[in-house]
Amino acid sequence: MNSRKEFYPDFYRNFKCAASRCPDTCCKDWDVVVDDEAYAFYSNVSGEFGDKLLNSIKIDEDGDRVFIFKNKHCPFLNRMRLCDIQIKLGEEHVCDTCREFPRISQDYTEFTEYMLSLACPEACRMIIAGDDIFDFSHITQIENDDNGYSKTFMNFLLKARGLTVKILSDNTKSFRSRLKHCIAFTEYVQMLIDDEIFDEDKICEYEYRDINVEKVNRRFVFDMHKDLDIMDNNWIEGVYAAKDCILNDTYETDREYTNMALYYIYRYYLNAIDNYDIITIAKRIYCAYIVCSSMTVALGAENEFDKRVMIIQKYSKEMEHSFENTEFFTVEFIDNTNFSSENIIKTL
Ligand code: SF4
């Protein structure tokens, strides 16, 4: 019988919602989907609060039941920035969406990896601040053939992920230089995947040579962000205003961007078992780094940790939880030649 293995980073277990202290609550901007169980319960709540519950629900364009937001907030977020549903009905009766966020589980049949979303300010602070917070050594090989996907391909991906992590974690080099190496290596591994060469020895044959090339302007990254699905227009104006700012990286910012990059790798790399795409992840890390580091300069956050957390969290909130944006990135990275691996390496 197969035994499922579960892997939790330490910060996952230590996470505690900041509740009323949260600077950007998850009840803001995003739809809250009311799942069937919660809806059945709300339908039997009597009195004024029961009426408010049912009158606050509509069906959205996807056919989901969602709360009707007031001033971009969930109608049950009270003046103390606490949830009235939790206060009046108990934590067990909030919707699944609210109970689970920012917790994420990624199920690969033989094993499951758990993660927190960077879009939550408290989770972002924990992820960005920590040292050695990701341990990718928990799984390097799978054992079973009956997981519903190719064992050979998964072991190939685990090997490639391990080497990518090694490149990104090499703090004898600057983050910028590690990112160049990561993009070039990922391009090579993507080529093997495209040719269906799932040979772990081939991955190890890769040799990287950092060559000094004339720098290329990276304004196209900011131009592309203007076409994404954005919730906060002020935020995107701030992104564009930062287009000519370049951060002088420091030990702290290098460590923070390393953690951000490892978060993307941990969260998305193994999705390639279904979509055969790893290069999009490296390019999304690149975009996140370019935009967040430039905003750090534009907002004067070089010496302000809390501001840098807010910049990385807000970027994740705008970019990561939108199906449209995920699709857009994938297509743009193929169609727009500015985003070729060779060209983006020249901008770093
Ligand atoms: S975003 Fe995170 S810290 Fe803020 S209210 Fe939601 S779960 Fe809590």
Residues whose beta carbon lies within 6 Å of some atom of ligand 1: 17-19, 22, 25-26, 101-102, 120-122
Which of 15, 78, 101 should be mutated for ligand 1, with most atoms under 8 A from CB? 101
Which is more confidently placed, 132 or 57?
A: 57
Q: Write the pLDDT tens digit of every residue in 261-303.
A: 999 999 999 999 999 999 999 999 999 999 999 999 999 999 9
Q: Which protein residue has the closest C-alpha to ligand 1 atom 4? A: 25
Which of 25, 78, 104 should be mutated for ligand 1, with most atoms under 8 A from CB? 25
Q: Band of the pLDDT at 258, cuts 50, 70, 90?
A: very high
User: What value does the mean pLDDT take over residues 111-138?
Assistant: 93
Q: Which protein residue has the closest C-alpha to ligand 1 atom 8? A: 17
Question: Residue 130: is its pLDDT beyond 90?
Answer: no
Distance from Cα 122 to the centre of ligand 1, integer Å = 7
Distance from Cα 90 to the centre of ligand 1, integer Å = 17
Return d(Cα 38, Cα 46) in angstroms, integer.
15
User: What value does the mean pLDDT take over residues 57-62?
Assistant: 92
Atom of ligand 1 nearest to the CA of 22: 4
Question: Residue 168: is its pLDDT beyond 90?
Answer: yes
User: What value does the mean pLDDT take over residues 131-149?
Assistant: 90
H or E element in which residue 240 lies = helix 233-241
Which of 20, 22, 117 should be mutated for ligand 1, with most atoms under 8 A from CB? 22
Distance from Cα 18 to the centre of ligand 1, integer Å = 6
User: What value does the mean pLDDT take over residues 237-242?
Assistant: 96
Global confidence as pTM: 0.93
Q: What is the pLDDT of residue 209?
A: 87
Joined together, the tokens standing for residue 288 give: 């996140």
Secondary structure (DSSP) of 262-302: HHHHHHHGGGHHHH---HHHHHHHHHHHHHHHHHHHHTT-T
Return d(Cα 55, Cα 34) in angstroms, integer.
13
C-beta of residue 61 within 8 angstroms of C-beta of residue 96: no
Q: Which stretches of 56-174 are DSSP H helices?
A: 84-89, 96-100, 121-129, 151-168
CA-CA distances (angstroms) from residue 324 to 3, 260, 338? 36, 22, 21
Average pLDDT, the chain: 94
C-beta of residue 72 within 8 angstroms of C-beta of residue 234: no
Distance from Cα 281 to the centre of ligand 1, integer Å = 25
Joined together, the tokens standing for residue 105 give: 């589980």
Q: Band of the pLDDT at 36, cuts 50, 70, 90?
A: very high
The SS3 of residue 6 is strand
Q: What is the pLDDT of residue 29?
A: 85
Q: Band of the pLDDT at 211, cuts 50, 70, 90?
A: confident
What 3 state SS string does 196-215 have? CCCCHHHHHCCCCCCCCCCC
Atom of ligand 1 nearest to the CA of 18: 3
Q: What is the pLDDT of residue 2?
A: 56
Atom of ligand 1 nearest to the CA of 123: 2
Question: Residue 214: is its pLDDT beyond 90?
Answer: no
Return d(Cα 1, Cα 274) in angstroms, integer.
24
Q: Band of the pLDDT at 28, cuts 50, 70, 90?
A: confident
Percent of the chain with pLDDT over 70: 99
Closest CA to 154 of 165, 167, 164, 140: 140
Q: Write the pLDDT tens digit of every residue in 217-232.
A: 999 999 999 999 999 9
Q: What is the pLDDT of residue 322?
A: 87
C-beta of residue 127 within 8 angstroms of C-beta of residue 11: yes
Question: Residue 70: is its pLDDT beyond 90?
Answer: no
C-beta of residue 24 within 8 angstroms of C-beta of residue 121: yes
